[in-house]
Structure 1
Amino acid sequence: MEEKQEKALAMWPAIVKAKCPKCRIGDIYTSPLYSLSGQKMHINCPHCGMTYEREPGYFYGAMYVSYAFIVAELVALAIGTSIITGSDNPWLYIIVLLGVVGLLAPFNMRYSRVILLHWLTPGLHYHPDLSAGH
């Protein structure tokens, strides 16, 4: 049986698939986006061994990214609800906005950390040599 060779992804597919920012092959998370087991991260990259939590409390910075996601989602939903329904009933907006934000919470949590690792961490860059030969 042949061993499956993995290929490093380009930046955007690596972000979408939540791959390691250093090698773009190893998974950051142990489970799918919507899973009953929750959002569990690997401590180290299974491929290159990079430690994901760069320092104690590192992922507190992801809260700011998550906040930006939530604000953008709420503004887009409020405008969309207004255009679609034309209603000025505050309860409609509360139900729609809180319901969708609740459904998107796992997405926001996961991708705020992925974006923090890929874009907002100084000195953390892709190393093609770590994925060479795979």
Structure 2
Amino acid sequence: MPAHCPVCAQTYEPEPGFYYGAMYISFGFAVAVFALVGVVLYYLAGDPPLWAYIVSVAVVTLLTTPLVYRYSRALMLYLFGGVSYAPRGARPANPRSTDR
């Protein structure tokens, strides 16, 4: 992972250990995945045996791990890193911008 964004020069790690808080966000995502898979299995599969729940949750968790990792870090950066999104073509609100 690069240290800075190539477009806006935003640093990806504002301080050492910044992304430790992203573990809590990814935990929330994991709980949501567990609950969603459990509800879907209960209603669509007619309450299968316990092993079906365990296997299904494990497979879905392994498949969604890269997305959960990426989005938990992005959410942490947006919520607590002071980053705001600027669509393409808009002037960045970055005071370190060199195009002034």
TM-score normalised by the shorter chain: which range applies? 0.7 to 0.9
The 5-angstrom pairing of residues 46-65 of structure 1 reads: 46-65=6-25
Residue 102 (structure 1) shift? 0.6
Equivalent residue, structure 2, for 1:130: 92
In the alignment, the residues of structure 2 paired with residue 125 and residue 86 of structure 1 have an alpha-carbon distance, to the nearest angstrom, of 44
1 or 2, which has the higher helix percentage?
2
In the alignment, which residue of structure 2 is the partner of 1:21? none
Q: What TM-score do you get using the length of structure 2 for normalisation?
A: 0.80
Task: Decide which of 76, 80, 87 is 2:36's aligned counterpart.
Answer: 76
Within the alignment, does 1:91 sit opposite 2:79 as a pair?
Answer: no
**Corresponding position of 1:28:** none
* Count of equivalent residues: 91
Quick one: distance in 1 between partners of 2:77 and 2:41? Answer: 33
Unmatched 5+ stretches in structure 1: 1-40
- The sequence identity of aligned pairs, in percent, is 37
**Deviation, structure 1 residue 124:** 3.0
Task: Give unpaired runs (5+ residues) of structure 2.
Answer: 94-98
Pairwise CA distance, 1:122? 5.2
Large movers: runs of 4+ above 2 Å: 122-131
Distance in 2 between residues matched to 1:104 and 1:126, nearest whole Å = 24
TM-score normalized by the length of structure 1: 0.61
Offset at residue 126 of structure 1 (A): 4.3
Report the Cα distance in structure 1 between the residues aligned to 2:81 and 2:15, rounded to whole angstroms: 13
Deviations 1:83-122 (CA, angstroms, capped at 9, x unpaired): 111134100000001110011000100111111112x115
RMSD in angstroms over aligned alpha carbons?
2.0
Question: What whole-Å deviation, never above 9, does each CA across 1:14-58 have from its counterpart, x for those lacking one?
Answer: xxxxxxxxxxxxxxxxxxxxxxxxxxx221010121211010011
CA contact (8 A) 2:5 2:11 kept: yes
Picking from 81, 91, 103, the partner of 2:63 is 103
Provide the C-alpha distance between the structure 2 equivalents of 1:126 and 1:100, rounded to a whole number of angstroms: 30
